[in-house]
């Protein structure tokens, strides 16, 4: 399987210095796309330097911090123009263990979307403050109740899509940007009847750099599930 791993970045200099070589070393059929939002710390520049040395690594530069959701949409549009069979979402900060990539690839053979889930075998989150864990955990229960989706970890950001899924979704219609982006993508896939499978991962909080979680991101995750429910009622999704 040829795959493309999309890594959105904003100020992840020290992380990508280690992460990108590690991803490239996994398998010659793996390509990586960094989507950088003009990080002030020079992440984009380092990514360019690494890309100059490796033809399997590419970089998409955007003019400023435009949000995670639109970074992925830009990456997805890039991906479906390439010769790849599946497309990954992955954080740059090592919360997502690169060693799990082969597990995703094993599963994507027999389904359409694979989600690396923190909540299917107990709670597999390491080093998060309790407040953050509770927020995430209850956000997932809330989303299940409001939308009717049965996914256990619907805000997870370590995922793999078959390319056909991304080709069939209306990427220009996707409106949410933070954790809600993950919820909306899952909802769109679920409504289209795609086979979604969760596999357990262990999520470890970042050691380097800072989180970009904000109030706005949380607010969005509160109302988007209701908007999705409405879209479903109106049969628009």
Ligand X SMILES: Nc1nc2c(ncn2[C@@H]2O[C@H](COP(=O)(O)OP(=O)(O)O)[C@@H](O)[C@H]2O)c(=O)[nH]1
Please report, as ranges, the residues that interact with Mg ion according to CB under 5 A: 91, 93, 95, 206
What six digits make up the tokens of 94?
Answer: 């090592």
Q: Least separation, in Å, of the C-beta of 193 and ligand X?
A: 29
Q: Which residue in the set 45, 65, 152, 191 belongs to the binding site for ligand X (CB under 6 A)? A: 65
Between residues 3 and 182, which has the closer beta carbon with respect to ligand X? 182
What six digits make up the tokens of 84?
Answer: 């790849």
Does 154 help bind ligand X (rule: CB under 6 A)? no
Does 17 help bind ligand X (rule: CB under 6 A)? no
Radius of gyration of the chain (CA): 17
Measured CA to CA, the distance from residue 115 to residue 88 in angstroms comes to: 10
Q: Least separation, in Å, of the C-beta of 213 and Mg ion?
A: 8
Between residues 52 and 213, which has the closer beta carbon with respect to ligand X? 213
Q: Which residue in the set 3, 4, 10, 158 belongs to the binding site for ligand X (CB under 6 A)? A: 10
Q: Which residue in the set 56, 103, 212, 229 belongs to the binding site for ligand X (CB under 6 A)? A: 212
Partner that binds at residue 92, options ligand X, Mg ion, none, CB closer than 5 to 8 Å by kind = ligand X
Between residues 76 and 158, which has the closer beta carbon with respect to Mg ion? 158
Q: Are 76 and 171 in contact (CB under 8 A)?
A: yes
b/e code 127-142 from CB counts within 10 Å (16+ = b): ebeeeebebbbebbee
The residues that bridge with 160 in the sheet, in sequence order, are: 88, 114
Measured CA to CA, the distance from residue 75 to residue 7 in angstroms comes to: 9
Q: Least separation, in Å, of the C-beta of 160 and Mg ion?
A: 18
Measured CA to CA, the distance from residue 103 to residue 213 in angstroms comes to: 28
Between residues 10 and 187, which has the closer beta carbon with respect to ligand X? 10
């Amino acid at each position: 399987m040829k795959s493309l791993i999309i890594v959105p970045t904003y100020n992840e200099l020290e992380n990508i210095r280690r992460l990108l070589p590690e991803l490239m070393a996994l398998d010659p059929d793996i390509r990586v796309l960094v989507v950088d939002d003009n990080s002030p710390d020079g992440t984009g520049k380092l990514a360019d330097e690494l890309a100059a040395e490796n033809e399997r690594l590419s970089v998409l530069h955007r003019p400023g911090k435009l949000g995670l959701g639109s970074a992925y949409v830009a990456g997805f549009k890039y991906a479906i123009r390439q010769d790849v069979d599946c497309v990954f979402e992955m954080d740059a900060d090592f919360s997502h263990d690169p060693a799990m990539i082969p597990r995703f690839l094993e599963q994507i053979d027999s389904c359409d979307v694979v989600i690396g889930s923190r909540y299917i075998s107990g709670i597999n989150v390491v080093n998060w403050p309790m407040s953050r864990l509770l927020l995430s955990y209850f956000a997932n229960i809330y989303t299940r109740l409001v939308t009717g989706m049965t996914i256990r970890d619907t805000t997870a950001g370590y995922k793999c899509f078959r390319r056909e899924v991304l080709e069939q979704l209306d990427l220009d219609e996707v409106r949410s940007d933070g954790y809600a982006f993950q919820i909306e993508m899952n909802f769109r896939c679920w409504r289209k009847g795609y086979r979604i499978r969760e596999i357990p991962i262990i999520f470890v909080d970042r050691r380097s750099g800072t989180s970009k979680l904000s109030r706005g991101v949380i607010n969005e995750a509160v109302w988007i599930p209701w908007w999705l429910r409405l879209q479903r009622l109106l049969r628009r999704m």
